[in-house]
Chains A and B, each alone.
Chain A
Amino acid sequence: MKRILVTILGMALVAGLAWATPEEDRLAFIDYHKKRFPNVAVEDYLNGVYAINPPAYQQWLQIEEFPPYELAMAEGKELFETPFANGKSYADCFPNGGVGIRQNYPYFDAETGQVKTLELEINECRAANGEAPLKYSKGKMASISAYMAFTSRGQKLNIVIPDDARAMAAYEDGKAYYYSKRGQLNFSCADCHVANSGMMIRADMLSPALGHPTHFPVYRSKWDDMGTLHRRFGGCNKQVRAVPLPAQSEEYRNLEYFLTYMSNGMEVNGPGARK
C-alpha cells in the first residue's frame, strides 16, 4: 500500500513538473536564457547563434552585405506575384494579400483542429487553385516562404494558443517532442539548444533556442541552399541518428507551434544566413 502511494505521488510529481501554461513556459524560457547569457539582450536572440558569438557575429555582418538568400528571395517574389493558370494568385489566399503576415504563423485552425504553418497554407493555396503541391523542405517552397518572411521583417511574432483543448494538446505535443530524447545518440532538441547552447560541438557553437524560428527560412552554407524550418528539424533529428519525420508532419507542425510561441514578441527577421 505504501509502495502504491509513493508511486502515485512520484507520478503526480513528475506530471506536475512539466505542467505550466504556455505563457509560464515562455517566461521561464526567457528567464533561463537571461541567466545563461546575462550579457545578451532578449531582443538580440533573433540573430541566433550570432547573438552569443561575437567573432561569428562580425563575419555574419559581412555575409549580410551580399546576402546569399537574395536570389531565392527574388525567385520567391516572382513566384508569389505570378498568377496561377486560373488567373488567381497567392495574394488571394492570404490575409493582407500575403504581405507582412509571417509573424502570425503557425496558428491553430479551429476548423480542422490542426496547427497550420505558412508552408502548409502555401500548398493549400496551390491545391485550391488547381496547382501541383511544392516540396516542403527547399526549392520553390523555401523561396516563396523567404519572400513572405522578408515582407514581414520587423513584425513581432504573435502566436496565439486559443482557449481550445485541441490547441493546448498541440502545444503540449510540440513541447513533449522538443524535450524528448531520440535517436541512437539519445539527444533531445533541448539537450543541444537549451542545456548546451553556447557550447562547441566540434567546430560549431550550439545556437540558443530562444529566437530560433524568427529567421527561417535560411540559406545555410552547409546546404549551399535554402531550407525551411522543417528541413532543419529533420537535419537535427538525423544528426542524433533518428529517422526524421516528414516535413509538415503533425509532429513537426506542433513542434513549430511550441517553439515559435517561446519566441513570441520577438521580431521576424527572416530569411536568414547561417553556417
Chain B
Amino acid sequence: MTRKLWIVSAATIVCSGLNVGTALAADQAAYDAACKAAESARQSAAEMRYEWNTIKPLIEKAGVAAQAGDYERAVKLCDEARKHGEEAIAQAKHESEAWKLSAVR
C-alpha cells in the first residue's frame, strides 16, 4: 500500500513538473504547432460546410498574443480554436444522419 502511494505521488510530481515545463516552454514553435493544428481543424470543418464562426477570431486573438510575446496565451487560444474545429467536424458527422430524427413527418 505504502509503495503504491509512493508511486502515485512520484508520478504526480513528475507530471506536474512536465506541465510546468510545457507552460514555460510555450514559445514561437509551440504557438506555430498549436496554430497549425487549429487552422487544419478549421479548414476541415469549412470543407464540410460546418465551420463555426468562433474559430477564426480565436486564431486571430492568438496571433495578437503571440506578437506581444505572450506565447502561453497564444497556445491556449489556438488549442481552444482547434477544439472548436474538432467539435464542428464531429457535429457535421453526427448531423449527417441525426437530422432525420427531427424532420417533420
Contacts and interface: CB of A to CB of B under 8 A. Distances in A.
A-B complex is real: yes
A60 interface: no
Given A28-B104, A28-B105, A186-B91, A180 B53 contact: no
B52 A14 contact: no
Contact of A242 (B50, B102, B105): B50
A182 B95 contact: yes
A169 to B, nearest CB: 15
Interface string B43-72: 000100111111000000000000000000
B52 A243 contact: yes
A241 B99 contact: no
B1 interface: no
A184 B54 contact: yes
A195 B101 CA distance: 13
Interface of A: 11, 14-15, 17-18, 20, 24-25, 28-29, 32, 175-176, 179-184, 186, 188, 190-191, 194-195, 238, 241-243, 245, 251
A60 to B, nearest CB: 27
Interface string B23-46: 000000000000000000000001
Given A17-B100, A18-B100, A181-B99, 20 more contacts: A14-B100, A18-B105, A25-B104, A25-B105, A29-B104, A175-B103, A176-B99, A179-B99, A179-B100, A179-B103, A182-B50, A184-B52, A190-B102, A190-B103, A190-B104, A195-B102, A241-B54, A242-B51, A243-B53, A251-B49
B53 A242 contact: yes
A186 B94 CA distance: 11
Interface core residue of B91, B100, B101, B104 (most chain A CB under 10 Å): B104
B55 to A, nearest CB: 8
Interface core residue of A25, A180, A245 (most chain B CB under 10 Å): A180
Interface string B78-100: 00000010010001000101111
Contacts of B53: 183-184, 238, 241-243
The 10 closest A-B CB pairs, nearest first, are A18-B100, A179-B99, A243-B51, A180-B95, A180-B99, A18-B103, A184-B52, A32-B104, A243-B53, A179-B103
Given A183-B52, A184-B84, A238-B53, A20 B105 contact: yes
